[in-house]
Every structure is written in structure tokens, then in C-alpha cells.
Structure 1
Amino acid sequence: MAKAIQKIAMNPSENIPYDKLVLSQKNVRRVKDGVSIEQLAEDIGRRMLLQSLNVRPVLGEDGEETGTFEVPAGGRRYLALGILIKQKRLAKNEPIPCIVNRSTATSAEEDSLAENFHREDLHPLDQFRAFKILSDQGLDHEEIAARFFVSSATVKQRLRLASVSPRLLDLYEKDEIRLEQIMAFSISDDHARQAQVWERINNNQHMQEPYYIRRLLTETTVRADDRRAVYVGAEAYDAAGGVILRDLFELDSGGWFQDAALLEQLVFDRLKVDAEAIRADGWKWVEAAISFPYGHTSGMRRVYAEPAELSTEEIARYDTVKAEYDALDAKYAEMEDADQEIEDKLDQLGAELDAFSDRPQVYDPAQKTIAGAFVTLGANGQLQIEAGFVRPEDEPRVETGDDDEEADGGDRDPSQADDVGANRTVVNGQSLNGASDTTEEPEDEGIKPLPERLVFDLTAQKTLALRNALASDVDVAFVMVLHALVLQVFYRFAKDSCLEINMVSNSFGQVQGLAETPWAKEIADRHEAWDRDMPDSDKLWEFLLGLDEASRKALFAHCASLSLNAVVEPWNKRPGALAHADALAATLGFDMVEAGWSPTVDNYLGRVTKARIVQAVREARGGDSAQLIDHMKKDLMAREAARLLEGSNWLPEPLRLDGGEAAADTAKTVTDDVADATLDDDAAELPAFLAGDADPLSDEPGTAVGEDTDHLQAAE
């Protein structure tokens, strides 16, 4: 006969007055965690009690119930109800829903443990979706935050997570994707784009890191701290219909401007307006662009602004203030004790004198009519104006008297035009061209110009004699060469030097980002400082003679340096010149590391093959460090290589001097044991996800599927 299954009898539910309840000391919860008692009280006061208290009757010495009940499970709710009673929001004898457990099969401690142990918090996804439902029901962020005692930012984060593609949320629900990855995907509201990124990374665990997901989702956007975004401004971009992506979980420096094309158009539109405003100030032309290549002003002369002239009243005021300042300063110097009143007066007078010295710089209106300005954006997004550049075609024409000659004989053949007095005789008031050197002319009819050949012969003798004299005076020879160089560097088209020295200065404008290097900026600042001091070309010789020796040498070094060219060009082999450049560097004690160069993703590692990246790390840090990255994809490998090479003083072959090759060869032969002993511990440590053995998609360790090693070698 089958045994009957015993039926379960549920504990009865009773409404027990609050003043008949006492907190049990058998409650296992001792550590405060989660929502505070005060917050719980506020929640109960608004929505009433959602869960009954679990109580047991208090027995007397005779084993009979005393009418009082202890609360072993639900102590926090009991204390929250007590707060409401103290606030007069609840009566002392208010009936409280309770589950009464009179069973002796379990203890009060077990009841308390079971209630908390078997309770499971909401899955985060359920919380995200619940917040979304409340938002759809009409509750705003602040109201949801107030009801659940979280910050408004937390609510926004939960709602943003709930807006991620349902496909990705389903993967998160199945634990196939991490919460940190969902946070990264929440940057974009484009579900299709999210799906594309997931398809791209889901088969490679090294590409599934949150930072990489963010990078892929924002690779077609523009960061808010980009100079274009700063120049236009978020408000103008938003007003034009642009969307700004924000990361609610990481510092994003203002987010990302999603529509790069719209941003570019807004930049050009504003640049056009700003350029027109600058041109209206009297410039002949204005060119505006986001950036110009290095050397874009090559071949142009530059004029500079000068301090505005002082009026008669300002000069008089300056003299008065200067005299008062000098007198007061002399008086104060003789005083033994400090006087705050005099010091304040001196500061006031000094500030007024400084204002005279710092008066606005103005351009000559006549110079503006032939000069122009370049307008571009600085790295901080502010408008930068380079003004005062004169194009060669806008240079004032030098009057040669040709107009008068054309007026006298406009039909003359230009090939028969006279040089100044050459082959020209005057007979009876008429000019005859092409007369022979041997033609006899009456002495009383005037002195005939010297023959061209004779002039050539004489001046050749003068030239040799002058060369000989110049060779004996080193100081003057130095100034002569300096004069020729300065004419070509600062005046370009002036032909006022008798030295036949030609200087070539390549600007290398095709190299992206060259203008932003510290070397280019330093050269530009030095050049502008000298350019400001340059006189007119016809006064340059006196100017150079008037310089002190140190200034002349500094100017000479600057001009000479601009002609240096150590660029390796496949179509222009110059082994001797390149060897000379290395010799010069050795003489100067020059080294690219000391100059501030270090390998980065942009300047080297991102532009070479994986084999080259691994080779660089092996040379600089040894074989163990190279093994840490040889299984990575190229973009991740380049970033980690940049970190490993930081502070290593490693240089690629084109930047090494004599001896650098030998050092590189020696570094290649470092054994793993030696590398372990010399490896920089901080540089060698990699995140756990980067230190795996091999790519799970690889057929062999360190080689990605489909990657042709032979092809890599051939490419090198």
C-alpha cells in the first residue's frame, strides 16, 4: 500500500499590533548593507509594507505564549516601522502583517538565515528593464532616483544600458557577454552599428575589451576635445542637428561628435565668416583652412606690426608719469623704513608706464594693401592668424624707366633695347644702336660709352683682386656669406649680393604633422624673431655689420641650418651627403632620443608590419617581451609595443647614427636569461588578457589564421 504524501501546512498570517513585537537577538544579520533603515522607512511610508514580518511567539516559563512576538526575520522592516512611529506617521498599536511560525522543527536563527540566504537580487538586466518601464510610464530620472534612493546619474546609466541592442542584451542575459562590454556598447544608440562591431570582434577575445569596443564605435566620430569641435562648439553643432555620443560610465572629455561631415561643414562655414571679417580689416587676401602644411609661407616676405604711435597728449602724459615715478623711486630708495603707501603709488605708476609699452600693435595700411594673412585653427581650437605675408607677385615693382623709353619709341624691338649706356652713341641728337667698337668718332662730339668687352675684362680683374682681398679678412668674409644667406632666407627674391651662393631649403610639406613637432615650432619661433629685426634689403649690409659677434654667429647658424637636408629619398641617392649628415650629428653630439623622439603608434609602430614591431621590442627589451605581444593583432600590438618601448631609448634604423647598428645587432642576440635579468619589470607587465599563449584563432602559436608569414617577409 502506497504511503500517503504528507501535506504542507503554511504558517498562519496574523495582524499583530506593533507594540506587541520585539526585535529578536537571534537575527543573523549583523552587518549593515544596502539600503539604509531610514530609506527603507521612506519607501514603506510611500508604498506600505510589501513583505510580512517573520515572527515567533515569546513563551513564558511555563511554556505558554505571553502575547508578545519576537522578530528573527525582518528586523530591518521592524526598525523602519519604528522610525515611522517616532515620526507620528504610524500608531504604536498599528496592526502589522506577520507570518507566525510556531514550529519547533527549525530555530529562529535558521529562519533568519533562510530568509536572507535563499533571497536572490535582481539580475542587472532586470533592473535596467524595470527602470525603462518606469520611464515609459512617465516617471522622469529624478523621480525614479528619489523613489529608489539612487543618484539621477545612476538612473541615466541604467536607462542607457537598457537601450542597447536587444540581441546584445540577450547575450548578456546568457552570460555570453560581460557587463563592462554592454557599458561600452551603450555609447552608440545605433543598433545596426552595434551589431556590426559585435560581428567583427565576437570571434577574437583580444578584441572584446571595452576600450576597443568604444574605439570601433567612435572611429568615424570626432572627439569633443578635437580642435574642430572646440572651434564650432557643442551648442552650434547640436543646433545644426548633430548628435553627440556620451559615455555615462567613463570620462569622455565631452563625448564624440557623431556626424564628422556636418562638423567639417560647420568649421568651413565659420572659417569663411572669420576670414571675411579679417580681410575687411584691409588685407589684400586671406586664406583659411583647418591646418596648413609645414613651410606654407615659403617664398613670401613678411611685414610686421609696430606699436601704435603715441599722440602728443600721450607723450606728455608718459613724460609726466615717468618723472614722477623716478622721483618717487629715488626718494623711496633713501628711506630706511618701508612705506606701503609709497609702494602702492609706485605700483600704480609702474602699471601706467607698462600700459604705454604694451600699447596695441598695428600694421601700416599701405603694407596691408599688398599683404595677406593665413587663418587656421590652433591645437586648442582657437583661431590663429598669421598676418603680413607678401606674395612674390604682389611685391611693388621697381621703376626702371622702361615706361619712358616705350613712350619715346613704343615700336622698338625689345631685342635691340639698350643696356645702361652700352652700345649707344649720340650723333646729331640721334641715338644709334649697335655701333662697332672700332667706329671712329670725333672727339668733340662727346665721350662714348666703354665697350662691353672692355667692361667685362676690367671687372674680371676687379673681381679677382676683390676675391684675394676678401680671402685675407676672415671676419668680412663671414659677414659676406651671412649677407648672401640672409638675403635668400628672409628676402627670397632680392639680388643684392655679389656672392654667387645659392641655398636650397626644402620645407617637406608633404609630411603630415611635421609642423606640430617641437623642432618645427622652435625653428619657426626663432625665424620669426629674426625676421622682425630685418631691415629693408638695401640696408641689410649695415645691419649685419652693426650686429655683435654672438648675434652674427647665431644668425649665420640659423640660416645655414635651414639648408641642411638629411632626408633619404629613393629617387635621389646621396650616400655622401647622408654620411656627411651623420658626421655632423656626431660632431654636434646629436641624438634623436635626447632631442625628444620616441616610437609611438602614429610616428612608427602603426606604419610598419607586425614583424617590424616585434623586432623593435626584441631589440629594446629582449625575447621575453617580444613573446608577450607576438600573438596579438596589429593595432593592439602597436599600442602595447609603444608602452614597452617607452624609456628604452630604442630608435629605428633611419634615425640611428654610426654605432647604432652595432648596438642593435648586439641587442638581437640577448638571451632570454639575460633579458629576464635586465628587463624593466614595470614595462614588461601586461594586462592578464594580453598575456595569453596564442591567438585562439591561430593555426600555430603567434600566427593568426590566414596570415601569410612569407608575404610579410617579402613586404619587408
Structure 2
Amino acid sequence: MQVYREEGLALDQLMAFAITDDHARQEQVFENLTYNRDPYIIRRELTRTHIAANDRRAIFIGAEAYMGAGGAILRDLFTEDRGGFYEDAALLDRLVIEKLEGISETVKQAEGWKWADVHIDYPHANGLRRTYPQPVDLSEEDKAAYAMASDEFNRLTEEWDSAEELPDDVDQRFGRLEAEIERIDALRHAFDPDVVARGGVFVVLAHDGTARIERGFIRAEDEQAGPEAETRSDGEDYAVNDDCEIIEDGSGSDSDGGSDEEAEDDGKPLSDLLIRDLTAHRTLGLRLALGEQSDIALFAVTHTLAAQTFYQGTEAHCLEIRPTSVYLAGHADGIEDTAAGKALADRHAEWAADMPRDVGDLWGFIASLDHASVMALFAHCASLTINAVKQPWERKPRAHETANRLAAAVNLDMTAHWTPTVRTYLGRITKAHILDAVREAASEEAAERLSDLKKQPMAEAAEQLLAGTGWLPVVLRAEQLVMSAERQDEAADAGSADVAELGPKPAQPETAEEDVAFNVAAE
């Protein structure tokens, strides 16, 4: 207050210091201030060791429970602080773990899992095999309840379709019906009791401050030898094929196939060499036929991708297409805990829950899907094979060019999946790059105000200035692929599919001046 009276602080700067009543901390921050005394810098320095109220941990616990455990919350008297700042990070973490443990114990007891483990962050490198629930038939009672709830819901929907606002009793009725329908829908998939008896769950804190329950993990000591690959008592490896026939390791090799004449002596109907010869001709016939039936080709490729995506250790496909999926968490820390990572995991889990238990039933399952569902499954499996990661030692300009074309074709907007923060970007680039970003997203004046700050304060201030602007680094921006006039004519002749491959078509000129500029750009 004395400094303010002496005109050493402006009113908004003085108000910023009121975020805390710790005078020692106020004096410490004041003494370390540079000539740049913007209020947001003062608030940031005073709350550097605290956790914002919009942090997922704070959302999960809530202010009342945190303060009830002895924690304190700093609040700004003069500006919107979005709920204040939680002072005791250690206490908050302990409360999160304790609450997650309570949820995990409830899930474990209610569902019968062998173990339950809790983490604030999802343990991606857990090394455990994961299983998913399988489709099961509803009981007659549940079927009847589902039909009754659906009929009532549809009747109410039709009755109140034109109403601008629902009466309270009708709205509550809708809520009860929706809850009943969701409850019964959840019963359509269930884990095998043996899996539950041997498996466990992870209970973690989701990105939005809710408890995230991931089920169906099997530890190595709880694994059971499956039929696909076992070990005989004499130490030799063997496998069991789809017809439950034991195939010795190395059987069917080219060197020891035997001759046609040996078949009669061995009591075999045909020799291995002749079978190989005949099946080679059959393979040639299949290649010729499949190449002429695009719908069946799509079906077969979908089966091949799904068999390797959702089933481990099986060779149930005859198309030699090998999908690979790069582990993105090895390239970007925490990427799988983002909203986009959770959305992809949820989509995969939904498909996994629909897969038949036996891979031998996969062909029939896909055959039972409508065309749109087959296309959706194909798209999901294909999407997992995308690798647009740029490694410093790699030289794949054509592959990255294709990734750019793919991004344009799907209208990828990375502002929905990524924001520049100190952790994700600003703390990992030079001061010059930070200022360029602020200059481009905000203004030249904003960049000038930050120019004399040290790296960390500059990055933190830039994060606030870039928030909500939609700014992206060049590598994440949508690339507009411009076609020449000649290529546009070729695309039009080839059809809409080729247009999508080439990229979005630029807007057509409406005036003579625009026409000149358009032609220059095209050239």
C-alpha cells in the first residue's frame, strides 16, 4: 500500500497482489519483479507453486472436501480466477488417491475382479494383456423390460415432439426411461467369469476430472496357456490349427515334403508336394477372381485387418497384409491421456466388445454387418496403421507428403486436439520462436512486452496470450493443396474419388481481377 501511495504501483498491479495475504510472499515477488509489472505476471508469480481450480485433480476432489481436509485456496479479489488456486499439491494428490482407492474397492467387490490398482495417470506401459467383454444374450425378463421402456420412450417422444419445454414430470420420466435403456444395453456385453476371476482393473483420473475405470487386464502370473501355442512335455513346440489338428514345428516345409509316390506308402490321399502345387493354382485363381470383385476385396481386407487388430497369436487370415501400429506414447509423453487419445481408446474398446470370442467366427460376424458397419470397421482398423511421425534420421519426403494429402482429405483441424502450452510446446522452443508465435497470434505489441523476459516466464505468459486464439505451429496447420487447371480437369474426368485424393479444390474466381490471380496461383 505504501508503494502504491508513492506511485510505485498502479491500481491494477496492487489488486493483483491481493490474490494472497502472505506478506512475505508478496514482498518476495515484488523484489524480483522486472520493469514488466503486468498484473498477470504478478498473479502468476504469486501462484506458481499452486494448482488451479480447473485442474483435473481439483475438479475430482472439489473445494469443500479439500478445505475439509485442511487445505487452503487462494482467491483473487479483483479478477476472475476460475475458482482460485489450491495451495497444497501434496494434500490434493493424497485425496485423489484415497478417493480412487475407494472407487476401485467398490468396483472390485461388486464385479468380482481379482485385483484393482489406482493411478492418477493411466499406466500405459503396464505390459499386461487386455481382454474385452463379449456379446451375451439378454434374459427374457430384460428383453421384455427393454421393449417396454423403448416403446414408452418412443411414445413420449412422439407425443411431446413439438413442445418447446417439457413439464417436470415428463422430463423426469424421460430420464428414468433413458437410464433403464442404458442399464439393459450395458448387459449385452459381459466379461467371461474366468477372465474376471484372473483379471483386474485400473482406476485412474481422466482428463476431465472424473474416475476412469479400465477393465480386463491379465497379469503374467495369471495367464493360462491358450490353444494357439502350447509346449509339449517333451519340449517340442506345436500349435493347434482351426480344425484342432496338431501341427509340429517345421511341418509342411519345402525340403521334406515327400514325393507323390510316397503318398501311397504313407496312406495319405495326396502328397505334400502335390497339395502345395494344387493350392498354388487355387491361390492364383483367388487372386484373379478377387481382383474383379471390389466389394468382396473390401470385405476380405477388413477381415484381415480385424483378425490381427483384435486377436493375438492367430493366423486366421489368408491375405498377407500386415498392419503395424507405432506406439505414439514413445514419441509424445502423455499423448494417450488427452481427450483425443481417450476417444480413440473408447472407439477401439467398442469394436473389441463386439468381436466374437473365437477368431474363427470373425468372417461370419463381418458378413452379418451392413455395408456402413463394414466400412466403419475397415476405417477403424486402417486408421490404427497411420504413421505420420517424423523421425530425425528418416528421409521419407513422399510418405510425409501423402500424410499431408490425407490430412487435407479428412479436413483435419488440430485446434480440436492440441493447444500450445508450456509443457507441450512453448517450453521446448527458443525465445525467438515464442515471440514469433505471440506476434502472429496476438500482436506486435504483445510480443514486444515479452521480449525482455527470461525463457520460463516468457513461455508462461505466451501460453495465456495464445489461449483461445486457435494458433498452431506450421507443422500442425492444415495444408491447402492447390491443383493446377490441368489437374482439375483430370480430376473432374476421373470422378469424385480422385478429387478427394488430389485435395480440396480452390474457390473459383468471380471477377476479372480474381481470374488473373487465380490463374497465376494455379500456374
Q: Same fold (TM over 0.5)?
A: yes
Partner Cα distance (1:270, 1:323) in 2? 36
After superposition, the Cα gap between the structure-2 partners of 1:322 and 1:500, relative to the gap in structure 1 and judged at 3 Å, is: closer
1:563 offset after TM fit, Å?
Answer: 0.7
1:384 to 199, 212, 216: 212
User: For residue 613 of structure 1, what is the aligned residue in structure 2?
Assistant: 434
Letter in 2 for 1:200: N
User: For residue 25 of structure 2, what is the aligned residue in structure 1?
Assistant: 193
Deviation by residue 1:679-698 (Cα, 9 ceiling, x = unmatched): xxxxxxxxxxxxxxxxxxxx
1:516 offset after TM fit, Å?
Answer: 5.6
1:553 offset after TM fit, Å?
Answer: 1.9
1:551 offset after TM fit, Å?
Answer: 2.3
Deviation by residue 1:378-418 (Cα, 9 ceiling, x = unmatched): 34533222334557886654448979xx6xxx5x4637999
Partner Cα distance (1:598, 1:355) in 2? 35
After superposition, the Cα gap between the structure-2 partners of 1:597 and 1:230, relative to the gap in structure 1 and judged at 3 Å, is: closer
User: For residue 301 of structure 1, what is the aligned residue in structure 2?
Assistant: 131
Deviation by residue 1:181-226 (Cα, 9 ceiling, x = unmatched): 454434445444333322221xx131x3333222212211123343
After superposition, the Cα gap between the structure-2 partners of 1:216 and 1:450, relative to the gap in structure 1 and judged at 3 Å, is: same
User: For residue 227 of structure 1, what is the aligned residue in structure 2?
Assistant: 56
Q: Is the 8 A contact 1:593 1:649 kept in 2?
A: no
1:465 offset after TM fit, Å?
Answer: 3.5
After superposition, the Cα gap between the structure-2 partners of 1:353 and 1:654, relative to the gap in structure 1 and judged at 3 Å, is: closer
- Bigger Rg, structure 1 or 2: 1
Q: Does 1:292 align with 2:122?
A: yes
User: For residue 335 of structure 2, what is the aligned residue in structure 1?
Assistant: 514
Letter in 2 for 1:577: A
Letter in 2 for 1:614: L
1:369 to 185, 197, 221: 197
Partner Cα distance (1:273, 1:254) in 2? 26
User: For residue 210 of structure 1, what is the aligned residue in structure 2?
Assistant: 39
Letter in 1 for 2:27: A
Q: Alpha carbon RMSD of aligned pairs, Å?
A: 4.9
Deviation by residue 1:276-333 (Cα, 9 ceiling, x = unmatched): 332223113333211226798996332158686354xx777888x699989xx8xx99
Q: How does 1:18-167 map to 2 (within 5 A)?
A: none
Partner Cα distance (1:657, 1:285) in 2? 45
Letter in 1 for 2:372: A
Letter in 2 for 1:509: A
Secondary structure (helix, strand or coil) at the match of 2:363 reads helix
After superposition, the Cα gap between the structure-2 partners of 1:279 and 1:557, relative to the gap in structure 1 and judged at 3 Å, is: same
1:489 offset after TM fit, Å?
Answer: 2.1
User: For residue 269 of structure 1, what is the aligned residue in structure 2?
Assistant: 98
1:657 offset after TM fit, Å?
Answer: 6.2
After superposition, the Cα gap between the structure-2 partners of 1:542 and 1:397, relative to the gap in structure 1 and judged at 3 Å, is: same
After superposition, the Cα gap between the structure-2 partners of 1:504 and 1:391, relative to the gap in structure 1 and judged at 3 Å, is: farther
Q: Does 1:476 align with 2:296?
A: yes
1:503 offset after TM fit, Å?
Answer: 0.9
Letter in 2 for 1:292: Y
User: For residue 555 of structure 1, what is the aligned residue in structure 2?
Assistant: 377
Q: Is the 8 A contact 2:422 2:428 kept in 1?
A: yes
Q: Is the 8 A contact 1:302 1:390 kept in 2?
A: no
Q: Is the 8 A contact 1:283 1:373 kept in 2?
A: yes
After superposition, the Cα gap between the structure-2 partners of 1:177 and 1:644, relative to the gap in structure 1 and judged at 3 Å, is: closer
Letter in 2 for 1:574: K
Q: Is the 8 A contact 1:300 1:391 kept in 2?
A: no
Partner Cα distance (1:415, 1:370) in 2? 26
1:565 offset after TM fit, Å?
Answer: 0.9
User: For residue 494 of structure 2, what is the aligned residue in structure 1?
Assistant: none
Q: Is the 8 A contact 1:620 1:650 kept in 2?
A: yes
User: For residue 498 of structure 1, what is the aligned residue in structure 2?
Assistant: 318
Structure with the bigger RCO (C-alpha within 8 Å, sep 6+) is 2
User: For residue 677 of structure 1, what is the aligned residue in structure 2?
Assistant: none
After superposition, the Cα gap between the structure-2 partners of 1:253 and 1:497, relative to the gap in structure 1 and judged at 3 Å, is: same
Letter in 2 for 1:654: V
Letter in 1 for 2:391: E
Q: Is the 8 A contact 1:299 1:492 kept in 2?
A: no
1:509 offset after TM fit, Å?
Answer: 1.6
- Of all paired residues, the percent bearing the same amino acid is 41
Partner Cα distance (2:402, 2:66) in 1? 53
Q: Is the 8 A contact 1:325 1:350 kept in 2?
A: no
Q: Does 1:259 align with 2:88?
A: yes
After superposition, the Cα gap between the structure-2 partners of 1:275 and 1:571, relative to the gap in structure 1 and judged at 3 Å, is: farther
2:72 to 240, 243, 266: 243
Secondary structure (helix, strand or coil) at the match of 1:509 reads helix
Secondary structure (helix, strand or coil) at the match of 1:544 reads helix
After superposition, the Cα gap between the structure-2 partners of 1:394 and 1:464, relative to the gap in structure 1 and judged at 3 Å, is: farther
After superposition, the Cα gap between the structure-2 partners of 1:458 and 1:649, relative to the gap in structure 1 and judged at 3 Å, is: same
After superposition, the Cα gap between the structure-2 partners of 1:348 and 1:642, relative to the gap in structure 1 and judged at 3 Å, is: closer
Partner Cα distance (2:389, 2:347) in 1? 22
Aligned residues between the structures:
456
Partner Cα distance (2:460, 2:481) in 1? 24
Partner Cα distance (2:388, 2:267) in 1? 57
1:560 offset after TM fit, Å?
Answer: 0.9
Letter in 2 for 1:291: D
After superposition, the Cα gap between the structure-2 partners of 1:269 and 1:619, relative to the gap in structure 1 and judged at 3 Å, is: closer
Letter in 2 for 1:176: G
After superposition, the Cα gap between the structure-2 partners of 1:356 and 1:323, relative to the gap in structure 1 and judged at 3 Å, is: closer
Partner Cα distance (2:291, 2:171) in 1? 57
1:559 offset after TM fit, Å?
Answer: 1.3
After superposition, the Cα gap between the structure-2 partners of 1:401 and 1:447, relative to the gap in structure 1 and judged at 3 Å, is: farther
Secondary structure (helix, strand or coil) at the match of 1:302 reads coil
Secondary structure (helix, strand or coil) at the match of 1:220 reads coil
Letter in 1 for 2:355: M
User: For residue 701 of structure 1, what is the aligned residue in structure 2?
Assistant: none
State TM-score, norm by structure 1: 0.52
User: For residue 9 of structure 1, what is the aligned residue in structure 2?
Assistant: none
After superposition, the Cα gap between the structure-2 partners of 1:325 and 1:170, relative to the gap in structure 1 and judged at 3 Å, is: closer
Secondary structure (helix, strand or coil) at the match of 1:569 reads coil
Partner Cα distance (2:101, 2:263) in 1? 71
Deviation by residue 1:645-689 (Cα, 9 ceiling, x = unmatched): 68987642323566799xxxxxxxxxxxxxxxxxxxxxxxxxxxx
After superposition, the Cα gap between the structure-2 partners of 1:198 and 1:544, relative to the gap in structure 1 and judged at 3 Å, is: same
Q: Is the 8 A contact 1:303 1:367 kept in 2?
A: no
Unmatched runs of 5 consecutive residues or more in structure 2: 160-167, 250-255, 483-523
Q: Is the 8 A contact 1:294 1:508 kept in 2?
A: no
Partner Cα distance (2:59, 2:15) in 1? 26
